[in-house]
């Protein structure tokens, strides 16, 4: 049996994700600053030992806002991926197991979703639903449905033709039993790997909506909103956008690395 070695980059990515989860669950362990407490005397202070990421235009600690904002950004990303995973997997399962008109209708709808730019579609949906963390997450989740549906359908079709599935039919097992016991369990590994990859993509999309003003309203410390609030001070107070942008980039790259590792394991 070939042993799989965990690469250092994968371990580093897992450590980053664990840290962000810890920020979301217990932000008070990482900073004593109030994310919404500021003052004009502390406005636009450069990074220092007292304020690791500096302060913003009204004196709020940027590091504290990033730490407390992890719960909003991570929760929204999980909701978005959950919507795409549940709905997309269900549609893909139907399309892959029930051929004919059902497959044609579902896959043509998937093609339409894939033809629309994700940001444009999410903007349209969030305008219809209204602004807010949950609505932005749902909007991003809808744009992810097509990818989950297409992958699930291809996996179901592949597994359905496997020899052990045909042997199960030959032994007298019914379609429902084969579907639950053999097809679905053996089709989900790549789908779950895609879900991990989509978390980083969802964080990026939700941060983009927040930056454009369609996400969580101020003064909530959401990552995209934090960058949007600091964009007018880039020339004089670079830390307002550079540090939050680096955090988002590192988290997205970490989730991508973990998702890639899971995909390689499931292959």
CB 103 within 8 A of CB 95: yes
Domain boundaries, the chain: 10-19+61-266
DSSP notation for 204-216 = HHHHHHHHHTSSS
Nearest Cα neighbor of 250 from 3, 1, 19, 77 is: 19
CATH of domain 10-19+61-266: 1.10.3720.10
**Which residues, in sequence order, are CB contacts of 55 under 8 Å at separation 6+?**
38, 42, 43, 44, 45, 61, 62
The backbone torsions φ and ψ at residue 157, rounded to the nearest 5 degrees and listed phi first, read -65, -40
Kindly give the confidence (pLDDT) of every residue in the chain, 267 residues in length, as a single tens digit, with 9 standing for 90 and above.
345 566 888 899 999 999 999 999 999 999 999 898 877 778 899 999 889 999 998 899 999 999 999 999 999 999 999 999 999 999 998 888 877 788 889 999 999 999 999 989 999 999 998 888 889 999 999 999 999 999 999 988 888 777 777 787 777 666 677 777 777 888 888 898 899 889 999 999 999 999 988 888 888 889 999 999 998 898 899 999 999 999 999 999 999 998 888 877 766
Closest CA to 147 of 100, 98, 101, 205: 205
Q: What is the DSSP letter of 32?
A: -
Give the separation between CA 192 and CA 188, rounded to whole angstroms: 6
Residue whose structure tokens are 């097992």: 173
DSSP state of 236: T
Q: Burial-class residue 123 by CB neighbours within 10 Å (0-12, 13-18, 19+).
A: middle
Residues 118, 129: Cα–Cα separation, whole Å: 16
Tokens 């955090």 sit at which residue?
247
């Amino acid at each position: 049996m070939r042993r799989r070695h965990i690469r250092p980059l994968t371990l580093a990515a897992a450590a980053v994700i664990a840290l962000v989860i810890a920020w979301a669950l217990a932000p008070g362990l990482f900073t004593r600053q109030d994310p919404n407490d500021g003052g004009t005397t502390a406005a636009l202070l450069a990074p220092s030992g007292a304020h690791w990421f500096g302060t913003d235009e009204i004196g709020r600690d940027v590091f504290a806002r990033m730490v407390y904002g992890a719960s909003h950004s991570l929760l929204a990303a999980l909701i978005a991926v959950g919507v795409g995973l549940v709905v997309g997997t269900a549609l893909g399962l139907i399309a892959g197991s029930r051929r004919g008109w059902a497959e044609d209708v579902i896959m043509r709808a998937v093609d339409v979703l894939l033809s629309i730019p994700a940001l444009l579609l999410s903007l349209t949906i969030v305008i219809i639903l209204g602004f807010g963390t949950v609505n932005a997450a749902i909007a991003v989740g809808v744009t992810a449905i097509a990818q989950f549906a297409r992958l699930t359908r291809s996996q179901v079709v592949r597994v359905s033709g496997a020899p052990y599935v045909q042997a199960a039919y030959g032994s007298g097992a019914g379609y429902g039993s084969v579907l639950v016991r053999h097809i679905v369990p053996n089709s989900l590994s790549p789908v779950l790997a895609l879900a991990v990859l989509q978390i980083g993509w969802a964080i990026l999309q939700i941060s983009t909506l927040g930056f454009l003003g369609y996400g969580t309203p101020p003064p909530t410390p959401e990552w995209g909103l934090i960058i949007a609030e600091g964009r007018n001070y880039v020339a004089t107070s670079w830390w307002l956008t550079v540090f939050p942008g680096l955090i988002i980039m590192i988290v997205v790259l970490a989730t991508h690395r973990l998702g890639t590792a899971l995909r390689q394991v499931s292959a």
